[in-house]
Amino acid sequence: MGEWKAQLSLRLRQDLRREMEDYAYADRRKLGNVGETLLEWAWEQLKVAGSIERLLKFKIRSERKSNGSFENTGEHQNDDRAPGQFASARRSGAPNARQPL
């Protein structure tokens, strides 16, 4: 049978909601599906980071390549880690975060 789910109510800025709705429409998804996917991913990231403060020290920056395409690069905003070492939600035995939900 299906998976049991619980409803969640939250507040967010109107412009963020509109932006998310536009993205969901362009990706042929429902806003609830986009929100669920983002929330599950963010939760895994937070568990790995250990705190919101530590999680917020990391950001993903888009860089334009010479051919005009974009490449995401992780950037750490503080010196707690060695270069090239980034937080990851994947732990041994954990499902691949890139698999469809």
Tokens (6 digits) for 99: 């698999």
pLDDT at 2: 85
pLDDT at 11: 96
Name the pLDDT band for 1 (thresholds 50, 70, 90).
Answer: confident
List the chain domain ranges: 14-76
pLDDT at 58: 78
pLDDT at 83: 45
This prediction's pTM: 0.56
pLDDT at 88: 46
Residue 24 CA to residue 33 CA, distance in Å, equals 8
